Amino acid sequence: MKNIKLINLFLYLFFTNCFAHSNSNSPYVALRKKYEDLKKNDERALPYVHQYIAEAKKQNDFKYLAQGFKDAIFYSADEQVKLMYADSTIIAALKTKDNDLISNAYLGKGIIYYFNFKQFEQALNEYLKAYQYIEKSNDLYQINKVKYHLGVVKSYLGFFDEALDLFTDCNIYFKEQLRTKKHLNLRYNDEKGYLNSLHQMIICYRNLKKNETADSLIDDGLRFINDRKTFSLEQSYLLKCKGISEFYKSNYTGAKISLKKALPQIIKAKDFSWEAVIYYYLGKTYSAGRSDVKAVRYFEKVDSIFTKTSFILPELRICYEDLINYNHRQKDFRNELYYTKQLLKVDSILGKNFSYLSPKIHRQYDKQSLLKMKEELEQKANNRTVIALLTVLLSFSIILILVLKYRKEKFIASKYRLLYEKLNRGESEKQIKHLEKPEIGEHKKSILKPELLDVIAEKIQFFEQHKIFLQKGITLSVLAQKLDTNTYYLSSFINETFNMNFSQYLNHLRINYITELLFNDKRFLNYTVEALAEECGMASRQSFSDIFFEINGIRPADFIKNRLQQLKSDTL
């Protein structure tokens, strides 16, 4: 597993160590002084780097040209640009025929594949080329640097035996260097090399099931650091290993303490792969203690890192199986489907990046079962969506019905109040007065003679007072015959006097009559609409209800309901 600070150190040394003894008066040194203090990926250095490259090309000096391309890699922020300059570095280095320089160039390209792209097989290929050029060199530091990177990639890919041999060689080398007297800065680099190779050895021993040896090395490393703040990150990596070891010993309290203590520095170093591992094992400790909710929160952090980086270690795959099972138990089909899809992505990435390890990973769910689960869960999700939509539609419909009902009741109540006020004053809508004399407007000339008007008025008064209008079958012709007049005179009289035709006149008489009965005699409030229609001489229930509404602005059933409520409230 990578150690970010060590890699950054290697990168800087790799990109700057070729010409430490160059002539301080050369144009190259003058140019490099303009940018050598800038940090990695700071593209403000690039204009000076391009001048450096141009000068090397002009002098046809491939060593300096290789150095210029290395500087371009170091200060370029774009990963594809870094890879392009790595190829240029190799071309320039090959022209120098300097094996150390060529090895360094291949190592640099491998670091880019590993560190920037997480393409481990490509990185391994470049490291192997670097090793071929350096293995017969006297530069032991460069040899062990290449070995370390070879080991990191082999460990990632699951070749733990081979990786362990390489890390052991590196560890022995750095340990021996610590016995020699060196400048403090050089000793610091050797100490970091010793601790990081030790960390990688522990990882290999754990994966090879040699847990006692791994535990012994953890103790060695922690004693060596002795809480020195300069090695806080290296201490955190060892505490992480100790936490994992304690978990497998079922010492969950000790595991939590070590893992949580390791986390801050690893987060600070942006080592997301080990950060995810810590979250996973913290989740497992809570799961073992039956704190499933806390466990799931840590597992979700693993997924968050995977979502952001599209990278995951093989040992974290089971985290998704745990999330699927948990959400299945909770009947949370939406999250179960989400994590099923995520596990399919994880398997795809593991199959591509860890082809050696992928067949060896224990799987509760294989690809076929995951695809089947995904299909079933999607169907459930679709069903739930349909149900949700129907529920929303039904709820909306109920709300709409209630709103319309409320508005209707409010409208009816307002109409009832208006009618009640008129009835209370002894009026009816478009009230028909019992006439003693016909009332013809001053400016309107009647087609009937005055004598005839008086005769018909008396007969109409008799018709109203004796409530002949309640008889069924009353028509203009029938009434004209009863009043001993003709239909023309009678129709003209009704039109001139009441400003309505005979049918409207008859309907008003009947509806006014039944309305006053309903208002004044509560016995009639118990009548059916059919009975009320019968009472006022109307032929059908529907015709009666429609005409009642047309004249009074309210249906007879609604009038009865409101009148009963009013009488009940008046008695309380």
CA distance 71 to 213: 41
The residue behind tokens 């591992």 is 277
Select from 561, 551, 567, 538 the least CA-distant residue to 422: 551
Q: Decide which of 20 and 251 is more confident.
A: 251
* Plot region of 430 (φ>0 → left; ψ -120 to 50 → alpha; else → beta): left
Q: Which of 47-51, 281-285, 428-432, 503-507 has the lowest mean pLDDT?
A: 428-432
Enumerate long-range contacts of 509-512, CB under 8 Å, 24 or more apart.
509/432, 509/464, 509/469, 510/469, 510/470, 510/536, 510/537, 510/538, 510/547, 511/536, 511/547, 511/548, 511/551, 511/552, 512/428, 512/429, 512/431, 512/432, 512/551
Q: What is the per-residue pLDDT for 365? A: 44
Q: What is the per-residue pLDDT for 505? A: 93
CA distance 191 to 171: 10
CA distance 565 to 46: 90
The per-residue DSSP string of 388-448 comes to: HHHHHHHHHHHHHHHHHHHHHHHHHHHHHHHHHHHHHTT--TTPPPPPSS----TT---SS
Written in H, E and C, the secondary structure of 37-102 is CCCCCCHHHHHHHHHHHHHHHHHCCHHHHHHHHHHHHHHCCCHHHHHHHHHHHHHHHHHHCCHHHH
List helix spans (H) across 466-501: 476-482, 487-498
Residue 358 — very low, low, confident or very high, per pLDDT cuts 50/70/90? very low
**Residue 532 structure tokens:** 């009320």
Query: What is the chain's mean pLDDT, rounded?
Result: 85
Predicted confidence (pLDDT) at residue 360 exceeds the cutoff of 50 = no
pTM above 0.85, yes or no: no
Residues 159-175 have a mean pLDDT of: 94
**Residue 29 structure tokens:** 């040194």
The predicted-structure confidence for 386-418, as pLDDT tens digits, reads as follows 777 888 888 888 898 888 888 888 888 888 888
CB-CB contact of 309 with 345 (8 Å) = no
The vertex-82 CA angle with 78 and 85, nearest 5°, equals 140
- How many residues are given for the chain? 572
Predicted confidence (pLDDT) at residue 303 exceeds the cutoff of 90 = yes
In the chain, what are the domain boundaries? 1-139, 158-269, 271-426, 450-571
Q: At what angle do helices 99-115 and 120-134 cross, to 10 degrees?
A: 170
Which residues 6+ apart lie within 8 Å of 70 measured at CB? 14, 15, 16, 18, 85, 89, 105, 108
Predicted confidence (pLDDT) at residue 51 exceeds the cutoff of 50 = yes
Q: What's the chain's Rg over C-alpha atoms?
A: 49
Residues 498-515 have a mean pLDDT of: 92
Predicted confidence (pLDDT) at residue 371 exceeds the cutoff of 50 = yes
* Plot region of 251 (φ>0 → left; ψ -120 to 50 → alpha; else → beta): beta
- Looking at 1.10.8, 1.25.40, 1.10.287, 1.10.3470, the CATH number of the domain 1-139 comes to 1.25.40
Range 450-571 classified under CATH 3.30.70.270: no
CB-CB contact of 110 with 2 (8 Å) = no
The residue behind tokens 């100490």 is 191
What is the DSSP secondary structure assignment for residue 157, as one 8-state letter? T
**Residue 5 structure tokens:** 């600070």
Greatest mean pLDDT among 250-259, 485-494, 538-547: 250-259
CA distance 124 to 246: 32
CA distance 191 to 201: 15
Enumerate long-range contacts of 343-350, CB under 8 Å, 24 or more apart.
343/317, 343/370, 344/370, 344/371, 344/374, 345/306, 346/306, 346/312, 346/317, 346/320, 347/317, 349/310, 349/311, 349/312, 350/312, 350/314, 350/317
Predicted confidence (pLDDT) at residue 369 exceeds the cutoff of 70 = no
The vertex-292 CA angle with 286 and 294, nearest 5°, equals 60
- Detail the DSSP E strand segments found in 230-315: none
Task: Name the amino acid, one letter, at 269.
Answer: A
CA distance 465 to 486: 21
Task: Name the amino acid, one letter, at 311.
Answer: F
Cβ-based neighbour number of residue 167 at 10 Å? 28
Q: Which of 15-24, 270-279, 553-562 has the lowest mean pLDDT?
A: 15-24
Residue 368 — very low, low, confident or very high, per pLDDT cuts 50/70/90? low
